[in-house]
């Protein structure tokens, strides 16, 4: 009898913990949704902080360029090397260029670029905004009649919308060149054959999905990073927790959104992707 009571108590404790987690998750999701709407609304209202936007364009774009270049070159070479070995077994090395376009343009380029930017930029945005909140700088802006979302969050959102697709294009080009190096010097595929295969698959559908994904991912990075920065609490430890949560949540959300975008686009534009 006592064992049954103890078992029921454990079950009740687990149920309460799950119920509490679900309530907290729903509450956070609701707050993030309304915060995202405020950011979107602030984009189209005055004043416009052009100097802050220009600064963020430089920090996010130029500051992440070296990371994107390294990611593109080694991801492209690694992918090409792995598939050249497999294709050689079937005598189909000439299809390496087509596979590189499908993998890089549709998936690896947008996802890897967004994950690298999320790791670098989302952490920086959350830490910066969290530090400003813990030192009461955001409260001082409100006291002076300045909308902190308009001044701090919107320039970062605009910069990410511009720079994430631009950096994705750079990553795609460099990854294809990395695959070209492997194709010519290791897989012994002719240069003409590789680039003709690449051009064959550079069609509307592949380019569209390759640009749609980073555009959507830029909103994910901006919304989560800014929300976590504005809602951080607990001093320096709270800023550290918010920064960690921002990177983890952004990365997971990017992977989830990537799946749903792929599923929807393949259902709607299947004829343009073949």
In the chain, domain spans: 1-42, 50-273
Q: Residue 45 gets which letter from DSSP?
A: S
Q: Render each residue's pLDDT in the chain as its tens digit; 274 residues.
A: 545 566 556 666 777 777 777 777 788 888 888 888 888 888 888 888 888 889 999 989 888 899 999 999 999 888 888 888 877 777 777 788 888 888 899 888 999 999 999 988 998 899 988 888 888 888 888 888 888 888 888 999 999 999 999 999 999 999 999 989 988 888 888 888 888 888 888 888 888 899 999 999 999 999 999 999 888 877 778 888 888 889 999 999 999 999 999 888 888 776 666 5
Task: Report the C-alpha gap between 115 and 68 in whole angstroms.
Answer: 10
Q: Residue 131 gets which letter from DSSP?
A: H
Which positions ≥6 away from 271 have C-beta within 8 Å?
205
Give the pTM: 0.87
Per the CB < 8 A criterion, the answer to whether 209 and 97 are in contact is no
């Amino acid at each position: 009898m006592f064992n049954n009571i103890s078992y029921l108590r454990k079950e009740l404790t687990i149920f309460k913990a799950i119920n509490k987690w679900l309530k907290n998750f729903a509450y956070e999701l609701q707050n993030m949704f309304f915060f995202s709407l405020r950011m979107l609304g602030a984009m189209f209202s005055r004043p416009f902080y052009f100097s802050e936007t220009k600064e963020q364009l430089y920090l996010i774009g130029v500051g992440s360029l070296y990371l994107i270049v390294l990611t593109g070159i080694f991801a492209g070479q690694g992918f090409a090397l792995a598939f050249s070995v497999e294709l050689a077994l079937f005598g189909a090395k000439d299809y390496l260029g087509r596979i590189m376009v499908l993998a890089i343009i549709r998936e690896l380029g947008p996802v890897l670029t967004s994950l690298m930017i999320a790791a670098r930029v989302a952490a920086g945005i959350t830490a910066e905004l969290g530090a400003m909140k813990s030192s009461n700088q955001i409260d001082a802006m409100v006291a002076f009649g300045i909308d902190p979302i308009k001044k701090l969050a919107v320039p970062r959102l605009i910069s990410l919308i511009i720079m994430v697709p631009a950096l994705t294009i750079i990553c795609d080009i460099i990854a294809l060149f990395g695959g070209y190096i492997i194709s010519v010097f290791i897989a012994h595929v002719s240069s003409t054959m590789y680039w003709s295969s690449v051009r064959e698959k550079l069609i509307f559908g592949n380019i569209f999905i390759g640009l749609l994904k980073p555009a959507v991912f830029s909103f994910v990075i901006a919304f989560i990073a800014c929300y976590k920065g504005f809602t951080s609490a607990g001093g320096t430890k709270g800023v550290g927790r918010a920064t960690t949560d921002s990177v983890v949540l952004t990365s997971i959300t990017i992977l989830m959104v990537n799946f749903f975008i792929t599923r929807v686009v393949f259902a709607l534009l299947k004829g343009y992707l073949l």
